[in-house]
Amino acid sequence: MKIGIIGGTGGMGKGFALRWSQKHDVIVGSRDAARAAESATEYTNLAKEAFGNINGTISGSDNLSVAKDSDVLILSIPYTNIDTVCSGLLSEIKDGCIVVSPIVPMTKTDVGFEFIPIKENKPFSYQLVSKHMNDKSKLVSAFHVISEKKLINPTLELDYDIFVCGDDKDSVEVVNGLINEIKGLRPIYLGSGELSYLAEMCTPLLLNAMIKNRIKNPGIKII
């Protein structure tokens, strides 16, 4: 399976590339193809150093090429860039391509991290991304509550639950499979895409808890 990561040169993209390259062909995307290729080489060396060998590959290209070539496309981009990025990419994806949104609409204010849809009465991320999808059922919301700092350490076993929302059962199952491939992660299905705001809200909650209580890189675990 080809997994493309838009914004793949960032921390979350790096972590996903390192871990999923054990089984899949990962394509790191960037506006600058040369930067993406450079990052892909770095990630490949790190993955081989961590695992000894990988059964997949890590390559890099421009975002549009990545979108066209992926079976699963991860949108590792800021909330404010959704319309700009998705308007040019999601109309170009393959039929059947699953799009995954880990995007969190939040802002830092004097009181802490706040959820933009509530504070400013704006759409949540899933709603904004879905506007640009030809097949909206292939959009899945996931990975909002994962620690980037822990994700990029490929040998560190995580211990988190990942909330998943989506309308298409098969697409959700594919994403659940990718979650299960990362040791220590467990997918928890919340329901349809219209409930994605519940998952998105968990990130500012965690960040505020982390800062106010001096907790290092917290996650969520349902027991």
CATH topology of domain 2-213: Rossmann fold (3.40.50)
- Residue 216's alpha-carbon distances to 110, 155, 169, 223, in angstroms, are 21, 18, 35, 20
Confidence at residue 21, expressed as pLDDT on a 0 to 100 scale: 96
**Helices vs strands, H then E, count in the chain:** 10, 10
Taking CB atoms within 8 Å and a gap of at least 24, the contacts of 51-56 are: 51/22, 51/154, 54/21, 54/22, 55/22, 55/23, 56/20, 56/21, 56/22, 56/23, 56/24, 56/25, 56/26
Q: Closest Cα to residue 18, out of 216, 142, 165, 183?
A: 183
74-122 tens-digit pLDDT: 999 999 999 999 999 999 999 999 999 999 999 999 999 999 999 999 9
**pLDDT tens sequence across 144-155:** 998 888 999 988
Bridge partners of residue 160, in order along the sequence? 185
Residue 155 pLDDT = 87
What percent of the chain is predicted at pLDDT more than 70?
100
Domain ranges in the chain are: 2-213
Question: What is the value of pTM for the model shown?
Answer: 0.95
Q: Is residue 53 very low, low, confident or very high in pLDDT (cuts 50, 70, 90)?
A: confident
